[in-house]
Amino acid sequence: MSGHDVLEDLAGELPDEDLEENLVESLDLYEMGSKPRCEEVEYLELVEDAIERLAWGR
């Protein structure tokens, strides 16, 4: 799967603004507690998974 395919796949999972930014930077700048706890856990897992998938091209 190419990087473009990975981005298309992630588009349905991540908010649009996160796809336009550096995902690693998004994690670095994220303020814990800025989202409800259940949303926060899900969001952080999605971003970390997206970073890994882009790195491996899958």
Q: What is the pTM of this model?
A: 0.64
Number of domains, the chain: 1
Distance CA 11, CA 40 (A): 18
Burial of 28 per CB tally in 10 Å (0-12, 13-18, 19+): exposed
pLDDT per residue, tens digit, the chain (58 aa), is 555 566 666 666 666 665 556 777 878 888 899 889 988 898 888 888 888 888 877 5
Which residues form the domain of 41? 3-56
Contacts of 13 (CB under 8 A, 6+ apart): 46, 50
